[in-house]
């Protein structure tokens, strides 16, 4: 996948992430690059209902679980390094939204 396509995909995913902080995204991305996308989405689904989390981080995991599941098939076709790159571009998109 070309860099342009990766950036485009990242912007599309980032645009759908609502109520998410770049810091929660970074933590989840790290988990996803270490343990794989499928396990990371499962992790987000668990965390979104965790009573030990504040409402804000719970919302971050709720949105990650919802949005990333929609893009799971597309992202699973990527190599590990390409996936890490796309997740990094999503983080940039989230920061860019702050202006």
In angstroms, give the least distance from the CB of 77 to another protein: 21
Q: Which stretch binds another protein (CB under 8 A): 31-39, 44-52, 61-69, 78-86?
A: 61-69
In sequence order, which ranges of the chain are alpha helices (DSSP H)?
3-16, 22-35, 37-47, 55-76, 80-97
Q: How many Cβ atoms are within 10 Å of 86's Cβ, its own excluded?
A: 24
CB–CB of 20/9 below 8 Å?
no
Q: How many residues does the structure list for the chain?
A: 99
Select 5 or 12, whichever has its Cβ closest to another protein: 12
**83 near another protein, judged by CB under 8 A:** no
Q: Which stretch binds another protein (CB under 8 A): 28-36, 38-46, 80-88, 90-98?
A: 90-98
- Please list every residue from 14 through 53 that binds another protein, using CB under 8 A: 14-23
């Amino acid at each position: 996948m070309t860099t342009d396509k990766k950036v485009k995909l990242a912007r599309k995913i980032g645009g759908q992430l609502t109520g998410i902080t770049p810091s929660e995204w970074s933590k989840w991305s790290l988990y996803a690059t270490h343990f794989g996308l499928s396990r990371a989405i499962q992790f987000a689904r668990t965390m979104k209902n965790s009573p030990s989390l504040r409402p804000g981080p719970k919302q971050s995991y709720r949105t990650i679980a919802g949005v990333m599941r929609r893009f799971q098939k597309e992202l699973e076709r990527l190599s590990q390094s390409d996936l890490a790159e796309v997740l990094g571009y999503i983080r940039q998109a989230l920061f860019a939204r702050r202006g």
